[in-house]
Amino acid sequence: MKSVNEASLIAPCGINCAVCRAYLRERNPCPGCRADDAGKPKTRVNCKIKTCNQIIEEEHEYCYQCDEFPCKRLLTLDKRYRKRYNMSVVENLENIRDTGMEQFLENEKTKWTCMECGGTICVHNGSCIGCGKEIKNFLV
């Protein structure tokens, strides 16, 4: 089973790739935002946040390290993820900044682990990839 508890799977924008539908799928899984771009769809290779000048030129690991945090682009992503998936990338980044990566990952593990089978809950559909159980009230 894939781990929810890896810092390398936290994208610059604060999304935990370990709970993304593209990462969790069995056929042609995405290796995560920080992995090599070979074989990834163009939308993920050309992600405007991942390729942001501040991230690249200033060598920021996460968007919260930028003077413009949260920028308009990040706020747009945050609004979409709040509405569709009941998750805030801005809150994720603030949690990483304020509590550290280790604590953030522990919180993520608790949040995204199925209590029925120990599998991973997908942020995009609210169901466990291990047992298929849909988590009630998970998505708003």
| Residue 10 β-bridge partners | 16
Contacts 24+ apart (CB under 8 A), 120-124: 120/1, 120/2, 120/4, 120/18, 120/19, 120/24, 121/19, 122/19, 122/20, 122/21, 122/24, 123/15, 123/16, 123/19, 123/20, 123/21, 123/85, 123/87, 124/20, 124/21, 124/85
pTM score of the predicted model: 0.86
Q: Domain locations in the chain?
A: 7-112
∠ CA 115-18-74, nearest 5°, is: 115
pLDDT in tens, the chain (140 residues): 455 568 899 999 999 999 999 899 998 888 888 888 777 777 777 788 887 877 777 788 899 999 999 999 999 999 999 999 999 999 999 999 999 999 999 999 999 999 999 999 999 999 999 998 887 655 44
Coil, strand or helix at 72 = helix
68-86 residues labelled b (16+ CB within 10 A) or e (exposed): ebbeeebeebbeebeeebe
* Model pLDDT, residue 2: 56
